[in-house]
Amino acid sequence: MSLVVQAAAEDVRSEDSVQLIRELSSELGLLYGGDGTAGFQPSDVETPRAAFIVARLDGHPVGCGAIRPLDDQSVEVKRMYTRPGYRRKGVAQTILAEAERLAAEFGYTNLKLQTGPLQPEAAALYERVGYYSIPIFSGDWDRVLAFQKDLVHQRVN
């Protein structure tokens, strides 16, 4: 029996969203120090052409992600998180697929993201689903892995 995970844009300030962000920040804080927020603020995704995505399994929140504008063509994937008991079950891939769908809908041509070297599973996932390495594009911490995925827009005749 396979799990059916659904992901959709939701209010970044909902109880489920806030709890998922809190769990992610705590995990990242333990890995890298600091508060684990990586500078993310809910207002980052309360702008046009941005979204906060929650993944659910049987209605229960199991992961999240966000997209926020970098410029007219590029959107940044932020706050990717899957609760530990649901990892390696396609949750992150479902979130990324929805992020890519929304980015295309919003008219972006690519998605960029950064992750840390202490998260090799995340880096491997991004490469597996078509992201490729690029130079660091934000921040001044040199221990960052940066990735990009180009969106292919189909022309309508």
Q: Rounded to whole angstroms, how far apart are CA atoms 76 and 68?
A: 5
**Residue 38: its pLDDT value, please?**
85
Which residues span the domain enclosing 73? 5-150
Report if residue 123 sits inside a domain. Answer: yes
Report if residue 38 sits inside a domain. Answer: yes
Tokens of 152: 């292919």
pLDDT digits (tens, 9 = 90+) for 15-31: 999 999 999 999 999 99
**Residue 56: its pLDDT value, please?**
98
Q: Rounded to whole angstroms, how far apart are CA atoms 25 and 149?
A: 25
CATH of residue 118's domain is: 3.40.630.30
Q: Rounded to whole angstroms, how far apart are CA atoms 59 and 90?
A: 16
Report if residue 110 sits inside a domain. Answer: yes
Report if residue 39 sits inside a domain. Answer: yes
**Residue 3: its pLDDT value, please?**
73
The answer to whether the predicted template modeling score (pTM) of the entire model surpasses 0.85 is yes
Given a cut of 70, whether residue 62 has pLDDT beyond it is yes
Report if residue 47 sits inside a domain. Answer: yes
Report if residue 157 sits inside a domain. Answer: no
How many domains does the chain divide into?
1
**Residue 141: its pLDDT value, please?**
75
